[in-house]
């Protein structure tokens, strides 16, 4: 890639980052629920995480109507659910995050060599 193209690419990525952070900040008055337990809930989480709501009031209802909100361990609360400043309070991360969430569907046995990814020590 030539240098002008690299500069354009870098500028575009910086702009996306700024826009992304701005969108997240506007959504910070709501509980950010990370859906990992189904397609509908995933859409709901993505709406909160990825979109910039028109106003903080509008952001108060990020869940797609009818979508189940999973009791995901990744649920994270920001403003609106906390109390006074506390050091390491229990339940810091969310109202339903007070235990590690088991999988909705248990892992399944499979055979063959093809795999999509490898879970290795990180």
Partner 1 sequence: MTCIVVLAPAATASFAAIGTTATVVVSDRSAVGTAVSMLRDDIDALDLACSRFRADSEIRAVERAGTATGVGQTLATQIAASLRAADLTDGLLDPTVGSCLEALGYDRDFGQVADADDAVRPVPAPGWRSVDWNPRARTLRVPPGVRMDLGSTAKALAADLAAARIAGAIDGGVLVDLGGDIAVAGPAPDAGWRVRIGEAPDRPGPIIAIRSGGLATSGTTRRRWRRGGDLVHHLVDPATGRPGTGPWTAATVAAGSCLDANIASTAALLLGVGAPSWLEGGRLPARLVDTDGRARTIGDWPPEAVEG
Site for partner 1 in 17-76 (CB under 8 A): 17, 20-21, 24-25, 27-28, 32, 34-39, 42-43, 45-47, 49-50, 70-74, 76
What residues numbered 88-117 form the site for partner 1, per CB under 8 A? Answer: 88-94, 97-117
In whole angstroms, the minimum distance from the beta carbon of 91 to partner 1 comes to 7
Sign of CA dihedral 30, 34, 39, 43: positive
End-to-end CA distance of the chain: 32
* C-alpha count within 13 angstroms, C-beta hemisphere, residue 73: 6
In whole angstroms, the minimum distance from the beta carbon of 95 to partner 1 comes to 11
In whole angstroms, the minimum distance from the beta carbon of 3 to partner 1 comes to 18
32 beta partners = 76
């Amino acid at each position: 890639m030539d240098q002008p193209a690299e500069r354009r690419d870098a500028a575009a990525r910086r702009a996306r980052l700024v826009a992304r952070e701005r969108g997240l900040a506007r959504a910070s008055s709501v509980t950010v629920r990370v859906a990992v337990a189904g397609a509908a809930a995933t859409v709901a989480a993505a709406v909160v995480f990825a979109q910039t709501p028109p106003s903080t009031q509008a952001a108060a209802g990020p869940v797609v109507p009818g979508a189940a909100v999973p009791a995901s361990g990744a649920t994270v609360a920001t403003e609106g659910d906390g109390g006074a400043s506390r050091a390491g309070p229990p339940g810091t991360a969310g109202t339903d995050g007070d235990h590690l969430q088991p999988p909705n569907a248990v892992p399944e046995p499979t055979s063959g060599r093809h795999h999509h990814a490898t879970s290795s020590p990180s």
